[in-house]
Structure 1
Amino acid sequence: MPRRRTPKKRIVLPDPVYESRLIELLVRQIMRQGKKSLAYKIIYDCMNQLADTTQQEPLAVIEQAVRNATPLLEVKARRIGGSTYQVPLEVRPDRGTALAIRWILTSCRNRAGKTMANKLTQEFIDASKNTGNAVRKREEMHKMADANKAFAKYRF
């Protein structure tokens, strides 16, 4: 974290096929060791499978899945007087989206299945129906924030 000034936000350009910033964010999170073309292939295969299985627009399913997995509250550790409190805070929209994408991809990677596109398709379907590990993670985060709302006075 820089001491002098906060770094400028980088503008994410939309992906070439669907013209969506969300798809580009997903591609950048999936990418390993700079292999962006492979990440694009995984995402577009997943979107084709979503269109086949749900008979809906795949971009709408993905947006609904990310919206369902996005947390509204999170807890941060704050040290006050020698003891550490878990202070609940509201989540900024860009951070909430980043957390949702991260949780969807980690639960997808932990899922058993053949290919990454298949696992990602199933995870998007589950998250769009308000089930799945990413949504469960969001619910745990909200429960933790609700349990520690007595420490909300220590917000910073």
Structure 2
Amino acid sequence: MAFKATASARQLQPDPRFNDIVLSKFINCVMERGKKATAQRLIYAAMDIIDQKLSKETSPEAPKSAIEVFHRALENAKPFVEVRSKRIGGANYQVPIQVNKKRQQSLAFRWIINGARAEKGRGMASKLADEIFSAAKGEGKAMATRDQTHRMAEANKAFAHYA
């Protein structure tokens, strides 16, 4: 069956500040109880914090803008394989399977947001900025979750023929 874009995917507008559709999806994932303006304010505050951190960066291969850091963090946090439970002959096996692009993106969003929400004691904007910045460098809770997922898939590679 061919992929058919849903109405929500067609109607999604890019965010007003960076004109980026992926960031608009991320804002929708951060949003709680329908408060989109609050989510936008939070994301943009996090982007401002990332810009401040970038001004202190001296590395030549460092990204130039906050939106580049955001996209690099997403690319780093995306998983390539995951394990799914499959019942075969009365036994449950953890079968490693490839992850499609849409699910890769949603998992990366979820892991970054959950990593930021897990911290205590600071504002959400600074926690989110730290998690995005550390994911862009290949560190942080989102990257730990991705690595754990990859390790699980590697450990259960023997059951790949059940996929």
Per the normalisation by structure 1, the TM-score is: 0.92
What is aligned with 1:81?
89
Distance in 1 between the 2:152 and 2:53 partners? 35
Give the CA deviation at 1:8: 4.9
Are positions 1:19 and 2:6 aligned together?
no
In the alignment, which residue of structure 1 is the partner of 2:76? 68
- Distance, in Å, in 1 between the alignment partners of 2:94 and 2:71 is 30
Q: Secondary structure at the match of 1:74?
A: strand
Alpha-carbon distance in 1 for matches of 2:5, 2:20: 22
Shift in CA distance, 63/8, structure 1 to aligned 2, threshold 3 Å: closer
Give, in angstroms, the shift of residue 14 of structure 1. 1.4
Q: 1:31 to 1:143 in 2, by over 3 A?
A: same
Q: CA deviation at 1:112?
A: 2.8
Corresponding residue SS for 1:85: strand
Give the drift of 1:111: 1.3
Offset, 1:67: 0.8
- The question of 1:131 aligning with 2:131 is answered no
Show structure 1 runs of 5+ residues with no match.
Answer: 1-5
Equivalent in 120, 131, 139 of residue 128 of structure 2: 120
Provide the residue aligned with 2:40 in structure 1.
Answer: 40
Equivalent AA in structure 1 for residue 22 of structure 2:
L
Farther off after superposition, 118-127 or 9-18: 9-18
Q: Distance in 1 between matches of 2:31 and 2:112?
A: 14
Q: How far does the alpha carbon of each residue in 1:86-115 deviate from its partner, in whole angstroms, 9 at most, with x for none?
A: 110000011101100100000100113421
Identify unmatched segments of 5+ residues in structure 2.
56-63
State the 1:46 CA deviation.
0.7
Match of 1:3 in 2: none
- When the two chains are superposed, the root-mean-square deviation of aligned CA atoms in Å is 1.4
Offset of 1:13 from its aligned partner?
2.5
Q: Tell me how far 1:53 sits from its aligned partner.
A: 1.0
Contact 1:71/1:96 (CA < 8 Å) preserved in 2? Answer: yes
Runs of 4+ in 1 over 6 A off after TM superposition: none
Question: Hey, what's the Cα distance between the residues in 1 that align with 2:125 and 2:150?
Answer: 29
Give the match's secondary structure for 2:83.
strand
Percentage identity across aligned positions? 37
Q: Is the 8 A contact 1:103 1:137 kept in 2?
A: yes
Could you tell me which residue of structure 1 aligns to residue 60 of structure 2?
none
Q: CA deviation at 1:7?
A: 7.8
How many residue pairs align between the two structures? 150
Aligned residue in 1 for 2:58: none
Q: In structure 2, the residue corresponding to 1:75 is in which secondary structure?
A: strand
The amino acid that maps onto 2:115 is: S
